[in-house]
Chain A
Amino acid sequence: MKQKQVLLGHGSGGQLSHDLISKIFVKHFDNPILRKQTDSALLEINATNISYTTDSYVVDPIFFPGGNIGKIAIAGTVNDLAVSGAKPLYISVGFIIEEGFSLERLEEIVKTMAEEAKKANVLIVTGDTKVVDKGKADKVFINTSGIGILDAENLHISTGKKVNIGDKIIINGSIGDHGMTIMSARNDLNIQANIQSDCACLNHLIKDIIDSGANVKFMRDATRGGVATVLTELVDKRNYGLEIKEENLVVKESVRGMCELLGFDPLYVANEGKVLMVVAEKDAQKVLDIMYSNELGKEAAIIGEIVDEHHGKGWIETGIGGKRIIDMLAGEQLPRIC
C-alpha cells in the first residue's frame, strides 16, 4: 500500500526515513553536495568573511495565497544573508513534522523550496527530519540555516555604521502584504481579501544594486515588526534621527482596508519580500531605477531620509501633515506569521 501520511517511523532513521529522504528530499533538492549523503555537507568556500544565519518557520496556515511555509523558509533565509550584503550560497533545512501529516502536502512544500532555491541560485546541502506524535506539533515546522560570502567592502551594511545625515531611505514596494494575507487566510476571521504574500528572494535585486556601485549604507528586510521596527532599530542610540512621510508609503487598498478593520498599522505589519535601504543621496535615483527594472521593485519609493534632528528617534509626517514618533512594536501583534 502506498503511504499517504507521515508516520512516526519516517523519523526513526530506519527504512522509512531512508525512503522519505530519497523519494522526497533528495529527489527535489538534488545537487552534487547533497547527493553524497554524508553526515555533514562538505563545502569549499574561498572567502574571509562568511555570513551565517538561522531561522525557524512556524507560519499558520502553512499554505497561503502567494506561497507556503517552504517558500518563506528559503526566501527568509536567503534574504537574511542578502541584506547583510552577502552572496547566499548554501542552506540547511530541518523538518519537524506532526505524525499523520500528508506526504503529498510535504512534497508540495519541498518542491516549492527546491524551486525557490533554484531561482535564488542557492544549494540545499544538508537536512534533517524528525516526526513527533500527533498533536505535539502543528503539521510542519521548518528550521533553516544559511551561509553566504561577504566582500570586505560590504561589511558595514548590516550595522549601518556609515549612515549619514541626508541619506535617503528606500523600500522596494508596498508594505503589509504578507501579514494581512496570513490574517485573511486564517479561517477564524472569515475575511476574504484579494491579497497575496509578497514572499520572495531578494538576493538578485540586491546584488544588482550593490554591483552598480551605489553607496548602500544599510539594509534590512522588514519582516516581523514591519517597517517601523527596522526604522526604530536604524536610529536607536545614534546621533541622527530619521523622518519618513506616510504619503510616500505604498499600501495596497486591500491591505489598508484590512488594517483599518482589524486595528493594525501597516507600518508594523510583516513583509516577506521587502528590503529597506539607506542610500547616499546622490545614488538614490540610481537605486530606484534598478528597483523599477526588477519585478520585485516596481513600486519602489523613497520614503524618507536621515536627519540631524531628534537624534535616536524616527518621526513620521502623517497623511494629514501631523507629526508623531515611530516606535518599536510592543508585544506580539500577530503570532505565527512566518
Chain B
Amino acid sequence: MKYIDEFRSKELVLELARQIKKISKKEIRLMEVCGGHTMSIQKFGIPSLLPNNIKLVSGPGCPVCVSDRKYIDQAIAYSRLSDVIITTYGDLIRVPGSTSSLDVEKANGADVRIVYSVLDALKIAKENSDKKIIFLGIGFETTAPSSAVGIINAHAQGIKNFFLFSSHKIMPPAMGALIDEGVKIDGYIAPGHVSTITGSGIYKDIPEKYNLGVVISGFEPVDLLRSIFMLVKQIESEDHNVEIEYSRVVRAEGNKKAQKMLDEVFELRDDWWRGLGVLPASGMKIRDKYKAYDAEIMIPVEVEKTKEEKGCICGEILKGLKNPKDCKLFGKACNPNDPVGACMVSHEGACNAYYRFNR
C-alpha cells in the first residue's frame, strides 16, 4: 500500500529506535494524546523498541472515552422514541450507559444504525421522512467538520428531519488542564488529524505557558518513532516548541475551509470530560442559527439519572495518572465483551488497546 508501507519500514523504524537510544538520557514520560496513536503504538509493539527511560502514557484523545455518561443515557432515551432513528459511528453503540446501551436497545427493537459518514445519515433522513434521524456527533476537530457538513447540507437541501446530537469537543483545553492538574508529562505527541483541520497554532500555549514540547504526529510506526525522536531532542536540549512530524498531511495553517465550516455551525461552550470534569470553552454547541437541527433543542426527552460505575478508574487513565493494568476491574469484571468503562469499548480506548495487545 503506497504511502503506508513506506512508513512501516522495519529498517527505518529500527534505525530511529537506535537514534533515540543514542540521544536519550533523561527519564521521561511522553503522552500520546490521541486514541489512534495509542492503538497504533500497542498494535505495532512500539514500547518494546524504546529504551527503558522513555515511557509512553495514553491521554484523553479517545472521543468515546471522554464523553459524559449522561450523553450516552440521553442517546439511549432518544433511541426509545418510536419516531426516532439513531445513526452513529460504530464504537458508540456498545458504550454502557447508566442502565443500558444502544446495542441492548437495538436488540429490544430500537432503530439504531451504524453509518460510516454523516452523508449516510442524511440519506436515511431523505428515505424516512416520517422519522426523526438523530446523528450522534462525537469526536474532536477531526470529525466535527463532517457533522457541520451534515447540518449545512441538510439546510441547503431542505431536509427537516435530520438532527445532530453534539458531543464534539476541542483538544487543546484538555491538554492544558492535565498539566494544570499536576500530571507529570515531559512532552506531547499531538494528534495528527486534529491538526490537519486546525493547523499547529492551537498548541502554541503549551511550550509558551508550560514549557513543554509538542510534536504533531502521523499514525504509522515511522511517524511515531520520528515524533518520539523529535521530542527527545527537544527535551535533551531544553528547547521546547511545536513541531510538525506529519508534514505530508498537516499544514501550519490547517484546512481553512473546514475551519470556516466549523465556525459557521458551532460555537464553544463549557463541557464535561470524563476524568477532567468541566473544562471552559472545550465543547462544540450548535449555533442558534442552526438550532432547527439541534437534537437537544428540538427533541426534548426525559433522561434517567446518571449513575457512574464504581471501581472504574477510566478518569485517571485518561489523565495518564494510571495505567489500565492498575485497574482492579481490568481484564476481569471489565473486558471488551462486557465493558464497564468506555475506555474498554472503543478500539481507540487505552484499556481496549492494552487488553488486546499488552496484557
Contact = CB atoms under 8 A, between A and B. Distances in A.
Interface in A242-300: 247, 253, 256-257, 260, 263, 265
Contacts of B297: none
A265 B353 CA distance: 13
B107 interface: no
Interface size class of A (residues with CB under 8 A): 20 to 34
Interface string A110-122: 0000000000000
A220 B49 CA distance: 33
Interface string B76-114: 000000000000000000100000000000000000000
A166 B347 CA distance: 34
B150 to A, nearest CB: 18
A43 interface: no
Given A256-B1, A318-B43, A322-B46, A331 B359 contact: no
Contacts of A189: 116
B36 to A, nearest CB: 10
B10 A319 contact: yes
Given A322-B46, A324-B42, A325-B357, A253 B8 contact: no
Residue of A189, A260, A331 most packed against chain B (CB within 10 A)? A331
Contacts of A260: 1, 4
B355 A327 contact: yes
A321 interface: yes
A321 B94 CA distance: 33
A253 B47 CA distance: 28
A321 B116 contact: no
Interface string A304-335: 00000000000011111111110100110000
Contact of A330 (B1, B44, B47, B356): B356
B336 A330 contact: yes
A317 B49 CA distance: 11
A322 B56 CA distance: 15
A330 B10 contact: no
A127 B335 CA distance: 41
Contact of A324 (B10, B335, B337, B357): B357
Contacts of B10: 247, 319-321
Contacts of A331: 94, 336-337
Contacts of B116: 189
B1 A257 contact: yes
B49 A322 contact: yes
B359 A327 contact: yes
A265 B43 contact: yes
A257 B1 CA distance: 7
A335 B356 CA distance: 20
B347 A263 contact: yes
Given A257-B1, A260-B1, A327-B356, A320 B337 contact: no
Contacts of B221: 320, 322
Nearest to A253: B1
A316 B49 CA distance: 14
A262 to B, nearest CB: 9
A19 to B, nearest CB: 38
B72 to A, nearest CB: 17
Contacts of B356: 325, 327, 330
B358 interface: yes
B157 interface: no
A90 to B, nearest CB: 36
Contacts of B14: 320-321
Given A325-B359, A330-B336, A320 B48 contact: no
Nearest to B42: A324
Residue of A260, A320, A325 most packed against chain B (CB within 10 A)? A320
Given A260-B1, A260-B4, A330-B335, A324 B355 contact: no
B355 A322 contact: no
Contacts of B357: 324-325, 327
Interface in B5-20: 8-10, 13-14
A320 B335 CA distance: 28
B48 A319 contact: no
B45 interface: yes
Contacts of A330: 335-337, 355-356
A324 B336 contact: no
B337 A322 contact: no
A323 B45 contact: yes
A324 B13 contact: no
A322 B45 contact: yes
A199 B67 CA distance: 42
B358 A319 contact: no
A324 B39 CA distance: 12
Interface in B333-353: 335-337, 347
A323 B10 CA distance: 13
Nearest to B90: A263
Given A256-B1, A327-B359, A330-B336, A321 B13 contact: yes
Interface in A85-126: none
Interface string B32-58: 000000000011111111000000000
A330 B4 CA distance: 27
Contacts of A322: 13, 44-49, 221
A316 B48 CA distance: 12
Contacts of A316: 45
A214 to B, nearest CB: 32
Interface string B111-143: 000001000000000000000000000000000
B44 A320 contact: yes
A322 B49 CA distance: 6
28 contacts: A189-B116, A253-B1, A256-B1, A260-B1, A260-B4, A265-B43, A316-B45, A318-B43, A319-B8, A319-B10, A320-B9, A320-B13, A320-B14, A320-B46, A321-B13, A321-B14, A321-B49, A322-B47, A323-B45, A324-B43, A324-B48, A324-B358, A325-B356, A325-B358, A325-B359, A327-B356, A327-B357, A330-B336
Given A260-B4, A322-B221, A324-B357, 4 more contacts: A253-B1, A260-B1, A320-B10, A324-B45
